[in-house]
């Protein structure tokens, strides 16, 4: 089983990272293949609403999100970790 962890916090080493690390450690201890992606380390451009994805079935923007898409498709389980800041999820 492949478990993908996605960390959405801009702060490294904070509660979100610590909690995600514990979840991933637990999954690994049960035999899962684990991988964590730190979104703040990636170059991801915002959606341009060009609708190319509707025609081609994939985003035309060539950024790190292409790797994230592949990892999401390959994962059996996905763990999203994101803090609540200023009364909203990051």
Instruction: Return the pLDDT at 56.
Output: 87
pLDDT for residue 49 is more than 70: yes
2-89: CATH class: alpha beta
Pairing of strands 33-38, 2-7: parallel
Please count the other Cβ atoms lying within 10 Å of the Cβ belonging to residue 7.
25
- Name all contacts of 41-44 with Cβ < 8 Å and 24+ positions apart: 42/67, 42/68, 44/68
CA distance 37 to 4: 8
**Beta carbons of 9 and 74 less than 8 angstroms apart:** no
Task: Report the predicted TM-score, pTM, of the whole model to 2 decimal places.
Answer: 0.88
Instruction: Return the pLDDT at 90.
Output: 67
DSSP at 40: G
Mean residue pLDDT across the chain:
94
């Amino acid at each position: 089983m492949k478990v993908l962890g996605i960390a959405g916090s801009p702060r490294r080493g904070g509660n979100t990272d610590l909690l995600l690390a514990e979840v991933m450690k637990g999954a690994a201890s049960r035999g899962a293949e684990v991988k964590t992606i730190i979104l703040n380390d990636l170059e991801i451009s915002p959606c341009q609403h060009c609708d190319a994805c509707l025609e081609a079935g994939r985003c035309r923007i060539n950024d790190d999100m292409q790797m994230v898409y592949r990892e999401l498709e390959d994962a059996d389980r996905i763990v999203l970790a994101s803090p609540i800041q200023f009364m909203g999820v990051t």
